[in-house]
Structure 1
Amino acid sequence: MITYATDRLWEETAYLAYYLHWSLGDILDLEHPVRQRLIAEVGGIHRQIAQEG
Structure 2
Amino acid sequence: MPIPGTRHERYLEDNVGAAAVRLSDADLATLDSAFRPENVTGERYEDMSALGR
Both proteins in one fold, TM over 0.5: no
Which structure: larger Rg? Answer: 2
* TM-score, normalisation: structure 2: 0.30
Q: If the length of structure 1 is used for normalisation, what is the TM-score?
A: 0.30
Relative to its length, the structure with more helix (as a share) is: 1
Structure with the greater relative contact order (CA < 8 A, sep ≥ 6): 1 or 2?
1
